[in-house]
Copies of this chain bind each other. A is one copy, B any other.
Amino acid sequence: MSIPEITQTLLQAKKDQRLSFADLEAILGRDEVWIAALFYRQASASEEEAKLLVEALGLDPSYIQNLTAYPVKGLGPIVPTDPLIYRFYEIMQVYGFPIKEVIQEKFGDGIMSAIDFTLDVEKEADPKGDRVKITMSGKFLPYKKW
């Protein structure tokens, strides 16, 4: 998987400005994961959000329109080879059906939306080794009958 050129430019500028995603969270008023998704062109910014980001990163204003365009989404191979990303594939393979059972028991026939959806990443200090905490919240969409 080669990382898109625009993503590389954004990441390099962020590095040059010595900004963390948390810093950008404070500047944009958007979660750091969403901002990282914007970097990878998996999300689209409003004019204002794009302007704030471009300024913070010291990029040319012409970059604004790259960030407001609606992207073609989905990155990487069918089965990811990067170990960090693969673990999410593995979670889906191992816990996908169990999650389905529990969601259906609690909500009925339907799905968790991946569009009306938020995702947070936190660091949990733990004496036995820090932990990554991921919180997803997606609207439950019941299957419509017609």
Contacts and interface: CB of A to CB of B under 8 A. Distances in A.
A44 B94 CA distance: 13
Given A96-B75, A111-B87, A130 B123 contact: no
Interface in A57-85: 70, 72-76, 78-85
Contacts of A134: 99, 112, 134-138
Contacts of A137: 124, 131-134
Contacts of A30: 145-146
9 contacts: A21-B105, A36-B98, A70-B108, A87-B113, A88-B92, A91-B114, A107-B123, A126-B139, A134-B137
Nearest to A45: B145
Contact of A132 (B74, B90, B112): B112
Contacts of A118: 144, 146
B1 A102 contact: no
Nearest to A101: B36
A132 to B, nearest CB: 4
